[in-house]
Amino acid sequence: MAGSTQKILEIMRAGKNVRAQNHSSLVEAADLDAPQLKPSPNMGKKLEEILNASLTNQHTPMD
């Protein structure tokens, strides 16, 4: 019985390692595929307007 428990634990560890490797590969692929976005110069101003409007419960047009 102890041998089968040991075997189950080995299989579970192996599966965990494969999942971790797959996850890191997916993250690397996503990083490579992501476009290099640059913030627009007036983005901070627009975000500030939206934040102020939400704090005062007013609406501002979204461009």
Task: Decide if 18 is inside a domain.
Answer: yes
Tell me what pLDDT residue 20 has. Answer: 67
Tell me what pLDDT residue 1 has. Answer: 54
**Interacting residues of 59 by C-beta distance below 8 A, sequence separation 6+:** 53
Tell me what pLDDT residue 15 has. Answer: 75
Tell me what pLDDT residue 8 has. Answer: 82
Task: Decide if 61 is inside a domain.
Answer: no
Task: Decide if 7 is inside a domain.
Answer: yes
Task: Decide if 43 is inside a domain.
Answer: yes
Helix, strand, coil fractions of the chain, as percent rounded to 5: 70, 0, 30
Domain extent, residue 14, equals 2-55
Task: Decide if 63 is inside a domain.
Answer: no
Q: Is 9 helix (H, G, I), strand (E, B) or coil?
A: helix
How many domains in the chain? 1
Q: Is 8 helix (H, G, I), strand (E, B) or coil?
A: helix
Tell me what pLDDT residue 42 has. Answer: 80
Residue 49 burial by Cβ neighbours in a 10 Å radius (0-12, 13-18, 19+) = middle
Tell me what pLDDT residue 50 has. Answer: 82
- At 13-53, the pLDDT tens digits run 877 776 766 666 766 666 665 666 666 778 778 888 888 88
